[in-house]
Amino acid sequence: MSDIGDWFRSIPAITRYWFAATVAVPLVGKLGLISPAYFFLWPEAFLYRFQIWRPITATFYFPVGPGTGFLYLVNLYFLYQYSTRLETGAFDGRPADYLFMLLFNWICIVITGLAMDMQLLMIPLIMSVLYVWAQLNRDMIVSFWFGTRFKACYLPWVILGFNYIIGGSVINELIGNLVGHLYFFLMFRYPMDLGGRNFLSTPQFFSEHKAGEGFVRATTASRLPNGQAPEGGVQNRPLAATSSPLSLTDGDTESASPLETAREGTQAGGAGEGEAGFPQSKEPDVGLDPRTLRS
């Protein structure tokens, strides 16, 4: 049990809480402690009966059974794998920015779910995070099941087809990919390629709130031996400090962005290999070169 506890504490803080909730809520419904009927996103109950918890529970709940258990475990693995990679990669040391990305994606998915009568939101949110990771590491070579190898930018669409085979639907995966693309376009593509303004920036209260600093320390401490916190803490550098996440303002002091952080310690323009499916890859993420986004 100590090995499981050590592994669980080693997961970055935000991913750890998300992962735990995605395990706990289905377990509560499976054991019958709370009726699963209260977990679904039903527009009528949410809008007219003021059952305001439903968008939250629908994000963590998944009906686990003989016909859905494998699909649930696969997506739980994707949550752990790619949320961890994002939180410790492009968003390393910036929990406020990562929380804001999750919040933006979640709000878009909830609105879409209410409009399209989507009762479960777990898979769309996971796929939106996976899509962002795939675009930030688009030239990384990943290996999927049966020895297939391709660039990471194709991974969300391969998983969409894979989930269709084992689950029979692509709506959840498609919505997740579209929401992830919307975030990636507004945060990265539009400001860089089209020279537009950055429509998405982390609100100041996210960066200044003490909870953000706590997440940084918790995440950093989880990667240190014996859970020891680093001396002097970790600086939480908000993404909003830069006018564009992919460029630096001429004549100003250079401010690090998540993309710059992802590139530190790696060779620019390199491409690595990783595992998209089981077992988990032991290869590190490849740092992002902005030039790859233009290809």
Gyration radius (Cα) of the chain, Å: 19
- The pLDDT tens digits of the residues spanning 69-110 come to 888 999 999 999 999 999 999 999 889 999 999 999 999 999
pTM of the model: 0.74
**Can you say how many angstroms the Cα of residue 101 is from the centroid of all Cα atoms in its chain?**
8
Counting every residue written for the chain, the total comes to 295
Q: Rounded distance, CA 19 to CA 173, Å?
A: 18
236-88-157 Cα angle (round to 5) = 125
Which contiguous run of DSSP H or E holds residue 150?
Answer: strand 149-151
Mean pLDDT by 10 residues, the chain (295 residues): 85 95 96 94 92 96 90 93 94 92 96 94 96 93 85 92 81 95 91 78 70 49 46 39 30 40 37 46 39 39
- Phi, psi values for residue 275, rounded to 5°: -105, 125
Burial (0-12, 13-18, 19+ Cβ within 10 Å), 91: buried
